[in-house]
């Protein structure tokens, strides 16, 4: 979900695990040469989702990195498949709509939240997306009100216990975060 901490947690987790970190939204903006919001406003969600799918396919094919995706990336089956393909691993950072609203109440950059009732929108998005996040993820981590350091340590322990990094030298897995 938007605001669950994918980029912030992912960046710190990648650093602690010695992986390269990429944010698919930043990669999309680089490819477009403009902000997602301006592209989204001009071209619409469907055009954005096509670009997003192309970028995620490219990023997940390389391996050896920590990738934070946009919250709606899981809406397309091709993205869910790419995130789980070829030894990639996915972690769902789960936050309640109420917690997300607390974090995002002053946000003006997320196009899907620029509505009269953003909490209702977050609840609707959560109801729509949660099953897809769960389908794609190997682990679900409830973010709650944990500190950044606690979340990073919790996920790092899960990664170690799952043995994901043991295979890094041979198959270069990627870790993706959705939510």
Q: 144: annotated binding-site residue?
A: no
Q: Look at residue 12 in the predicted model and tell me its pLDDT.
A: 95
Q: Look at residue 30 in the predicted model and tell me its pLDDT.
A: 97
Q: Look at residue 25 in the predicted model and tell me its pLDDT.
A: 94
Which of 128-134's residues contact partners 24+ apart within 8 Å by CB, and which partners? Answer: 128/75, 129/1, 129/71, 129/72, 129/74, 129/75, 130/94, 132/74, 132/75, 132/80, 133/74, 133/92, 133/94, 133/178, 133/179, 134/92
Q: Look at residue 107 in the predicted model and tell me its pLDDT.
A: 80
Q: 41: annotated binding-site residue?
A: no
Q: 129: annotated binding-site residue?
A: yes
Q: Look at residue 9 in the predicted model and tell me its pLDDT.
A: 94
Residues of the chain with pLDDT under 50: 167-173
Q: 107: annotated binding-site residue?
A: no
Q: Look at residue 156 in the predicted model and tell me its pLDDT.
A: 92
Q: 130: annotated binding-site residue?
A: no
Q: Does domain 6-164+172-178 have CATH number 3.40.50.300?
A: yes
Q: 134: annotated binding-site residue?
A: no
Q: Give the pTM.
A: 0.85
Q: Look at residue 170 in the predicted model and tell me its pLDDT.
A: 40
Q: Is 136 left (phi over 0), alpha (psi -120 to 50) or beta?
A: alpha
CA-to-CA distance for 139 and 130, rounded, in angstroms?
13
Q: What angle do CA 100, 101, 104 make, to 5 degrees?
A: 85
Q: Look at residue 105 in the predicted model and tell me its pLDDT.
A: 85
Assigned token pair, 10: 């992912």
Taking all residues of the chain, what is their mean pLDDT, rounded to a whole number?
Answer: 88
Q: 87: annotated binding-site residue?
A: no
């Amino acid at each position: 979900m938007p605001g669950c901490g994918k980029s912030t947690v992912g960046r710190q987790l990648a650093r602690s695990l010695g992986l390269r970190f990429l944010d698919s939204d930043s990669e999309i903006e680089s490819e477009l040469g403009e902000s997602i919001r301006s592209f989204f406003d001009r071209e619409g969600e469907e055009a954005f989702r096509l670009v997003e799918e192309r970028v995620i396919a490219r990023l997940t094919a390389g391996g050896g990195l920590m990738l934070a995706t946009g919250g709606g990336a899981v809406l397309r089956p091709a993205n869910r498949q790419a995130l789980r393909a070829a030894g990639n691993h996915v972690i769902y950072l789960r936050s309640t709509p109420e917690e997300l609203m607390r974090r995002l109440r002053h946000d003006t950059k997320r196009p899907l939240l620029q509505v009269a009732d953003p909490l209702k929108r977050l609840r609707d998005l959560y109801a729509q997306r949660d099953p897809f996040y769960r389908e794609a993820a190997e682990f679900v981590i409830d973010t709650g009100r944990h500190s950044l350091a606690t979340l990073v340590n919790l996920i790092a322990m899960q990664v170690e216990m799952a043995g994901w990094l043991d295979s890094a030298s041979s198959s270069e897995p990627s870790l993706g975060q959705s939510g």
